Structure 1
Amino acid sequence: MEHQQLVETTSNCPSSSSSMKSNGENQVKPFKFPLTVWEMMGASGVVLGFAVGLVGVYLSLPDSDYSFLKLPRTLEDLRILKDDLEQYTSDYTIQVLLVYCTVYIFMQTFMIPGSVFMSLLAGSLFGVLKGVAIVVFAATAGASSCYFLSNLIGRPLVLSLWPDKLVFFQNQVAKRESRLLNYMLFLRVTPTLPNTFLNVASPIVNVPYHTFLLATFIGIIPAAYVAVRAGTTLGELRSISDLYDIQSIGIIFFIGLASVVPTLMRDNNKS
């Protein structure tokens, strides 16, 4: 019922607006903030929790100049951050790891771009195996945090930002309820829908959390491996596009194909 109501509400908007135009009503609706006061308080509480955690870890570090600490936006920023953090990583591994995970989870929770730079940083600081494990954990935790936060306040935001994508995603989820894990895994591995959208929209279209969690955990491993591996040779990178060579794209493609083969075979058997 909730699925149908969402589609009907969204699909009925154009017809209602056209009928208003035909009746000569050209009134402009006043802007209404999409979140209630309680929803804003809940989101603010989450932000405050992250802030307190970061400050606590920061205070546990030795006295020094940390002006270099900032979210990297370019490869040059990332190289400077990596050079400055290396000395702290060896002496204060736990603190650096806590700061890294907290920042990564915060970025994923509030859809802040730049996770690829964080994945590269993990490779340069922790190596391939540890880096992949850390990135997969932090990305999965951040996606889960975004999932639960969106379940609280996400509906009006998604309806205002991605109404068409939401209707498409809802219809696909409704058609694939019996094999939803395969579909979610396919979406995670391939760029069919942005990961940010999946994190926010999944609870709204009633994707069960256990399905969301498993698809996220498995689906982000290939991309995490590619970025972390590239981070171990950070000095050789000239642009972000260098991450995705033919071999990396091939690996991701075949993993995505393998995730949907069971679904395709099942559909053929039914037909």
Structure 2
Amino acid sequence: MAAPRNLMGDNGRLLRDEENGLGEDDSPTGKKPKSERFTLSRWEFVAAIGIFVIFSTGLFCIYLTMPAADYGKLKLPRSVSDLRLLKDHLASYAKDYPAQFMLGYCSVYIFMQTFMIPGTIFLSLLAGALFGVIRGLPLVVFNATAGASCCFFLSKLIGKPIVSWLWNERLRFFQSEIAKRRDKLLNYMLFLRITPTLPNLFINLASPIVDIPFHVFFLATLIGLIPASYIIVRAGLALGDLKSVKDLYDFKTLSVLFLIGFISICPTLLKRKKIYE
């Protein structure tokens, strides 16, 4: 009869744990609670795969329409040295086939931004190296905004489990900050976009989850990415002198970005001051 008593004792503890909201995941083993685990439903998984296949098919169709080239030299750059080689190879191609090159460039940029593939900063540098600031800056801002918007809607569809799994505590903090700034949400979003306070990837994914309206997200992205994009595109003009992407954000650059970001939230700070007075 000892075994049944142990079994009842274990079951009793399990029942008490369940009543208190505890379980195996709250044990001192370091496992995450079930609410923080990556739990993508079957429908969400199928939707994610379907969207990725649609985007990939479109990108492949664009690839088929591109003029012939030495595709063996075309690869996504992962370092500044890779980018220099790619720029040398694409300079004549972009000059001979400007429309086709622009279509391919925009498609790759938006695809990478939508599906959170690292490397868009190299494409921004490439735009500066090939087109200069006057043409390169609008091109980068357009692609970054379009890709971020696609990522916004993708996250609205399937992003909540992913963000909760990766950045649960940060998401809660972000949600509380947004709730406190609903009256001046555009100014706060501009501050986040201009300054490196939060990663752009997190902002793209978390914004629909914390109920930021798309028009606010779109305007903040379109305007807020201009300062940083200008710095990156301008650096692309001197690609030969650039050693690493880390050199883009020195103390002076970060100070300028935070100054611009502070200006963007001045209306919010002034309004709070008047309320307390």
TM category (shorter chain) comes to 0.7 to 0.9
Task: State whether structure 2 residue 207 is matched by structure 1 residue 214.
Answer: no
SS in 2 for 1:113: coil
Deviates more, 1:61-70 or 1:223-232: 61-70
Aligned length: 253
2:104 to 88, 92, 99: 99
Task: State whether structure 2 residue 53 is matched by structure 1 residue 48.
Answer: yes
Distance 1:173 1:222 in 2: 23
SS in 2 for 1:71: coil
**Fraction of identical pairs, as percent:** 55
Deviates more, 1:108-117 or 1:213-222: 108-117
1:133 to 132, 135, 138: 138
- Tell me the equivalent position of 2:270: 265
Q: CA deviation at 1:41?
A: 2.3
Q: CA deviation at 1:85?
A: 0.6
Unaligned runs of 5+ in 2: 1-19
- Tell me the equivalent position of 2:172: 167
1:255 to 240, 250, 260: 260
Q: CA deviation at 1:247?
A: 4.7
Q: CA deviation at 1:252?
A: 1.4
Task: State whether structure 2 residue 201 is matched by structure 1 residue 196.
Answer: yes
Deviates more, 1:114-123 or 1:35-44: 35-44
Distance 2:247 2:25 in 1: 51
The answer as to whether partners of 2:38 and 2:162 remain within 8 angstroms in 1 is: no
SS in 2 for 1:241: helix
Distance 1:217 1:48 in 2: 27
- Tell me the equivalent position of 1:149: 154
- Tell me the equivalent position of 2:181: 176
Q: CA deviation at 1:47?
A: 1.6
Deviates more, 1:33-42 or 1:148-157: 33-42
Task: State whether structure 2 residue 245 is matched by structure 1 residue 237.
Answer: no
| 1:202-232 deviation line (CA, Å, top 9, x unaligned) | 0011000000000011110011000000101
| 1:106-144 deviation line (CA, Å, top 9, x unaligned) | 111111112211110111111111111011000000100
The answer as to whether partners of 2:124 and 2:233 remain within 8 angstroms in 1 is: yes
Distance 1:148 1:35 in 2: 17
Distance 2:254 2:51 in 1: 36
**What root-mean-square deviation, in Å, do the aligned CA atoms of Structure 1 and Structure 2 show?**
2.4
SS in 2 for 1:112: coil
- Tell me the equivalent position of 1:77: 82
Please identify the structure whose Cα radius of gyration is greater.
Answer: 2
Structure 1 residues 33 and 171, CA gap change in structure 2 (3 angstroms) = closer
In the alignment, residue 255 of structure 1 is paired with which amino acid? I
Q: CA deviation at 1:75?
A: 0.5
Unaligned runs of 5+ in 1: 1-14
State the TM-score, normalizing by the size of structure 2.
Answer: 0.85
Distance 1:113 1:41 in 2: 23
Deviates more, 1:233-242 or 1:37-46: 37-46
2:231 to 226, 229, 242: 226
- Tell me the equivalent position of 1:3: none
The answer as to whether partners of 1:222 and 1:251 remain within 8 angstroms in 2 is: no
Q: CA deviation at 1:49?
A: 2.3
Q: CA deviation at 1:45?
A: 2.3
SS in 1 for 2:253: helix
State the TM-score, normalizing by the size of structure 1.
Answer: 0.87
> Aligned runs of 1:111-126 on 2, under 5 Å?
111-126=116-131
